[in-house]
């Protein structure tokens, strides 16, 4: 077994004895509960400090809260999620809460098993980022544990809170920008998922479609799905760029796909934006590197994460109705979409 600290652990009992009060009193101080005098609180806090007391999360889980929030991430590699996490941490900085991250590799089965294990571990709440599950499942989850989602559009649900950017508007901005710069054959590369209105890609597809129509480019609407994997993305993009009717511009649902598109374009000897404009989404740190200089849509992951955490804690503290935070996306123009040379 573990080289367990032979030195007996400092428990609530030790603190109580040291401060000369009851165990219940110490617990009250810990939880900031009603019915403690300032004098007693001070005495107990002094003892806790002195003994370097730390509450045992497992024991807490038995009756009360664990002060731990579960975070569900589709994958570790997308730097956009790091922004969201930064925001979550920021919101939690001054609280007792800690986070526990699980990575689902974008698979619904792993997602569900992670959720189960978060519930087993008595997480006080759950933040799901871009989950893959259908809305009914999300609702079921939120009935078992307080839940907030980021990048998942279910404004109609009262059982869970959401933090989103307006994906329809973001995609529309991209199309309008490209159209204004002289591009007409604008193709969108999206994610291959069963069509569900809740996921961000479907929202962006809608924004793309609407804006294309609005700009009189309906006949050029072309939405191409690709899997998440590097190989699949490259294959799909290569196929597109080698086709006889090569698009003039690519709108990629996320930056990572856009970066691969840049790579394929370079491989094929196409200049960007000379032969092809490329736009991404999320405005991750890689966009700003000169070798990419990628136009992208900023949806401030940090704000989304911060708001999601705030909403979740409110919900844990008892709010019953749904709350839905929406941020406006902002197009960040860089070299990859400069005006088309006529």
Binding residues for DNA, per CB under 7 A? 8-9, 11-13, 21-25, 27-28, 30-31, 33-37, 39-40, 53-56, 59-60, 62-65
Are 107 and 53 in contact by the 8 Å Cβ rule? The answer is: no
Q: Cα–chain-centroid distance for residue 190?
A: 18
Minimum CB distance to its own copies, residue 109 (Å): 13
Minimum CB distance to DNA, residue 28 (Å): 6
Binds its own copies by CB under 8 A, chosen from 11, 45, 75, 275: 75
Instruction: Write each residue from 302 to 341 as x if it is in contact with its own copies (CB under 8 A), else as -, in one continuous string.
Output: --------------x-x-----------------------
Minimum CB distance to DNA, residue 40 (Å): 4
Q: Which does 285 bind (CB under 5 to 8 A by kind): DNA, its own copies, none?
A: its own copies
Minimum CB distance to its own copies, residue 44 (Å): 18
Minimum CB distance to its own copies, residue 204 (Å): 23
Nearer to DNA, 51 or 332 (CB): 51
Minimum CB distance to DNA, residue 29 (Å): 9
Q: Which does 66 bind (CB under 5 to 8 A by kind): DNA, its own copies, none?
A: its own copies
Strand order in the sheet with 249-252: 223-226, 186-191, 249-252, 277-279
Q: Maximum Cα–Cα distance for the chain, whole Å? A: 85
Nearer to its own copies, 11 or 181 (CB): 11
14 is a site residue for its own copies (CB under 8 A): no
Of the candidates 212, 123, 189, 126, which has an alpha carbon nearest to the alpha carbon of residue 161? Answer: 126
Minimum CB distance to its own copies, residue 260 (Å): 7
Instruction: Write each residue from 29 to 68 as x if it is in contact with its own copies (CB under 8 A), else as -, in one continuous string.
Output: -------------------------xxxxxxxxx---x-x
Nearer to its own copies, 12 or 169 (CB): 12
289 is a site residue for its own copies (CB under 8 A): yes
Instruction: Write each residue from 118 to 137 as x if it is in contact with its own copies (CB under 8 A), else as -, in one continuous string.
Output: -xxxx-xx------------
What string of H, E and C letters represents the secondary structure of the chain?
CCCCCCCCCCCHHHHHHHHCCCHHHHHHHHHCCCCCCHHHHHHHHHHHHHHCCCCCHHHHHHHCCCCEEEEEECCCCCHHHHHHHHHHHHHHCCCCCEEEEEECCCCHHHHHHHHHHHHHCCCCEEEEECCCCCHHHHHHHHHHCCEEEECECCCCCCCCEEEEECHHHHHHHHHHHHHHCCCCCEEEEEECCCCCCCEHHHHHHHHHHHHHHHCCCHHHCCEEEECCCHHHHHHHHHHHHHCCCCCCEEEECCHHHHHHHHHHHHHCCCCCCCCCEEECCCCCHHHHCCCCCCEEEECCHHHHHHHHHHHHHHHHCCCCCCCEEEECCEEECCHHHCCCCC
Minimum CB distance to its own copies, residue 42 (Å): 23
Which residues of this chain interact with its own copies, rule CB under 8 A?
Answer: 1-5, 54-62, 66, 68, 75-77, 79, 81-82, 85-86, 89, 98-103, 116-117, 119-122, 124-125, 140, 143-146, 159, 230, 259-260, 262-264, 266-267, 285-286, 288-292, 316, 318
């Amino acid at each position: 077994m573990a080289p367990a600290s032979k030195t007996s652990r400092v428990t609530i009992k030790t603190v109580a004895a040291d401060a000369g009060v009851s165990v219940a009193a110490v617990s009250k101080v810990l939880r900031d509960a009603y019915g403690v005098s300032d004098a007693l609180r001070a005495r107990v806090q002094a003892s806790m400090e002195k003994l370097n007391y730390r509450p045992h999360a497992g024991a807490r889980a038995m009756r009360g809260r664990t002060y731990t929030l579960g975070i569900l991430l589709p994958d570790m590699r997308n730097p956009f999620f790091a922004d969201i996490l930064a925001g979550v941490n920021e919101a939690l900085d001054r609280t007792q809460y800690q986070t526990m991250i699980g990575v689902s590799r974008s698979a619904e089965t792993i997602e569900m098993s992670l959720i189960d294990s978060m519930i087993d571990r008595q997480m006080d709440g759950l933040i799901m980022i871009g989950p893959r599950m259908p809305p009914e499942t999300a609702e079921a989850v939120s009935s078992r544990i307080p839940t907030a989602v980021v990048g998942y559009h279910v404004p109609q649900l009262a059982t869970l809170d959401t933090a989103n950017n307006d994906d329809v508007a973001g995609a529309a901005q991209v199309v309008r920008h490209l159209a204004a710069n002289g591009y007409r054959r604008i193709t969108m590369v999206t994610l291959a998922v069963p069509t569900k209105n809740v996921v961000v890609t479907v929202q962006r597809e809608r924004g793309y479609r609407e804006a294309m129509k609005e700009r009189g480019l309906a006949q050029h609407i072309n939405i191409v799905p690709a899997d998440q994997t590097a190989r699949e993305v490259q294959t799909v993009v290569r196929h597109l760029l080698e086709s006889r009717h090569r698009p003039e511009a690519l709108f990629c649902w996320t930056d990572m796909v856009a970066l691969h598109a840049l790579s394929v374009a370079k491989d094929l000897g196409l200049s960007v934006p000379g032969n092809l404009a490329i736009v991404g989404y999320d405005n991750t740190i890689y966009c700003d590197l000169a070798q990419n200089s990628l136009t992208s849509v900023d949806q401030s992951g940090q704000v989304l994460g911060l708001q999601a955490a705030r909403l979740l804690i409110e919900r844990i503290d008892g709010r019953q109705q749904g709350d839905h935070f929406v941020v406006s996306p902002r197009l960040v123009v860089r070299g990859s979409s400069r005006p088309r040379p006529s």
